[in-house]
Homo-oligomer: A and B are copies of this chain.
Amino acid sequence: MSTVLVTGASGFIGRPTVTRLLDAGHQVHAVARRQPAAGDPRVHWHELDLHEHDRLVALLAAVAPDRALHLAWDVSPGFAHSSENLPWAASSLRLVHALSEVGCRRLVTAGTCFEYDWTAGVCREDDTPTLPSSLYGTAKLAVNTTARAASAALEMEIAIGRVFFLFGPGEPPGKLVAHVVRSVLAGERAACTSGEQVRDYLYVDDVAAGLAALVDSEVTGPVNIARGEGVRIADLVTLIGQVAGRPELIGLGDRETPAGEPPVIVADTARLRDEVGVADPLPLAEAIERTVAWWRRQPAVTAG
């Protein structure tokens, strides 16, 4: 059992990841700007804005985590090109340094497929060049590259969970799957592109399983957190329509595909499966079924 500090613990990825870490027997200290109303009672919650560095340092000294998982970042709409990525990169670098100062010996940061050169199609951790096309990807890559280069100086293992595309219960409403599910459950047409793009979509609980396993492992460097298999967006949204019983509401081709959309973004997941030892994920259809069922249970679903 370790004492694990988790930032961004109240977020879409944070919530199921905290559950996984608790189930693995860890003592979890969760940091969030606001403690969620219905959080797991086993968690030690700490309300903190990560930009408040002095308060963070005091918290770290009190908790003295063995391991940490840094998920917090601004991902509000427009975040891909927002100047808020700079303070988030800054606070992340300060966090990494401060963790080392209190004796934390392993850190997993949340990376992203936005760090890769997307012309590659299939992204492999060691071969595929990094070439972010967004400020978000650039800032994340800057933090993760610097943290990794500092590993020896910090006497801290650094692993980077490069999260690809995802969906599931609690997804922010503006995202693709949440938007389509909520639209069709509300009886509204979901305007989609023609959906020729192929993306690597993983159920959020499997993302959580990957990140929690990475915290527990000794693997360092970047590790793709993904299904390892692409799905055409058209097939994904068609599946949602079928599962929700409203296939006629899937408006394929209602919207133009934005110029410059990469045709394929898929992860190689050999490191995740073979080195970190994470089991195969939930089949896509089952994951969509669970997601639709969860949204059905939410009160007052209106299209986002």
Q: B-contacting residues of A (Cβ < 8 Å)?
A: 53, 81-83, 85-87, 89-94, 96-97, 100, 132, 135, 138-139, 142-143, 145-147, 149-150, 152-154
Contacts and interface: CB of A to CB of B under 8 A. Distances in A.
Contacts of A150: 83, 85-86, 135, 138-139
Contacts of A93: 86-87, 89-90, 93
Contact of A89 (B53, B135, B146): B146
Contacts of A154: 83, 86
Contacts of A145: 138, 142
Dominant secondary structure of chain A at its interface with chain B: helix
A53 B147 CA distance: 21
A117 to B, nearest CB: 13
A153 B136 CA distance: 11
Contact of A82 (B86, B96, B146, B153): B153
A60 B26 CA distance: 44
A82 B155 CA distance: 11
Contacts of A143: 142
Contact of A83 (B86, B100, B135, B138): B100
Given A82-B153, A90-B90, 11 more contacts: A83-B97, A83-B154, A86-B147, A86-B150, A87-B93, A87-B97, A135-B146, A138-B149, A139-B149, A139-B150, A142-B146
- Of the candidates A91, A93, A96, the one having the most CB atoms from chain B within 10 angstroms of its own CB is A93
In the A-B complex, the 4 residue pairs with the closest CB atoms: A142-B142, A83-B153, A90-B93, A138-B149
A96 B87 CA distance: 9
